[in-house]
Structure 1
């Protein structure tokens, strides 16, 4: 599994996951929408730590900085 997420992308996903978790815990979001957003938060949390987004692969998207090749 090759990383396809840069540091900024990973940080933003992590912050969104934390925000959604806090909003659900406080009761600001609840019901079906709350459950869906918590599941999304879990997915964001996992992908932010793995550095890999499965949805980026089919489209060839990568937010990683290209590695400099030494010649």
Structure 2
């Protein structure tokens, strides 16, 4: 697993993930758990959906 999530991408993922989680909590919906996915991929620095498309936002 090579890093394919760059610094800016990580920040965006954490913000979006937290926003989804807060919205899920506010509306009392299980959909808020989806917010953990972008936060998790930001923390590990690897996104499996980038592989088939050949996307890499990590600087070499």
What's the offset of the Cα at 1:47? Answer: 0.2
Q: How many corresponding residue pairs?
A: 60
| Residue of structure 2 in register with 1:57 after alignment | 51
Kindly report which structure 2 residues correspond to 1:1-71, keeping only aligned pairs within 5 A, or say none: 1-27=1-27, 30=28, 34-36=29-31, 38-66=32-60
Normalising by structure 2, we get a TM-score of: 0.85
Q: Deviations over 1:15-36 (max 9, x none)?
A: 0111111112222xx5xxx433
Distance 2:33 2:24 in 1: 11
For structure 2, list consecutive stretches of 5 or more residues without a partner in the other structure: none
Bigger Cα Rg: 1
User: Where has structure 1 moved over 4 Å in runs of 4 or more?
Assistant: none
For structure 1, list consecutive stretches of 5 or more residues without a partner in the other structure: 67-71
